[in-house]
A = this chain, B = another copy of it.
Amino acid sequence: MSDKPFDWGRTDRSEEEAFGTQVAAAVLNAAADAVVACDREGNIRLWNPGAERIFGFSAIEAAGQSLDIIIPGRLQARHWDGFRKMMASGQSRYPQGHLLSAPGRRKDGSQLSIEFTVVALRDGEGRISGLVAVMRDVTARFEEMKALRKQLREGAPA
């Protein structure tokens, strides 16, 4: 997480800012990456088309719900423990750009493997007001890795 102001690398800042807004809107409105934002209480405040695609809940269904809708039951206590610590300290315990991975849950109850980054949202006084996660479904690759490890353990031929 960086507090550094964005440097557009060019001189005409208003043009740059308009372009930055266009780029950000394109990512947010696309279904390529899941972008999910929640408030300090962990309730969903933004759910983009990528989140709809990956998790199966529509934006209407997800809005206002707890993040628990996408967290397998057995992992919820651990999730909220880390969530509350980040809210209290205002900082992640991971280094900048750290790629997190965790099992997630779809609307139909099936499990998936996600990889995600987390960025803090801050209010006008710099206090943490929520979190944004950018998430990807990496189930196929995760299963492939698991199969390779199993083959190695069992000494099976490649």
Contact = CB atoms under 8 A, between A and B. Distances in A.
B97 A26 contact: no
Interface stretch (A56-64, A71-79, A102-110): A56-64
Interface residues of A, number: 67
A37 B37 CA distance: 23
Interface in A64-120: 64, 96-99, 115, 117-120
A81 to B, nearest CB: 21
A8 B157 CA distance: 51
B132 A23 contact: yes
Contacts of A33: 97, 117, 134
B120 A26 contact: yes
Interface string A19-30: 111111111111
A29 B5 contact: yes
Given A10-B63, A158-B152, A27 B27 contact: yes
Contacts of A61: 9
Interface of A: 1-2, 4-10, 19-33, 35, 37, 45-50, 53-54, 58-64, 96-99, 115, 117-121, 132, 134, 136-138, 141, 144-145, 148-149, 151-153, 155, 157-158
13 contacts: A2-B49, A4-B49, A5-B29, A10-B64, A19-B45, A21-B21, A23-B46, A32-B134, A50-B97, A144-B145, A148-B149, A149-B158, A152-B152
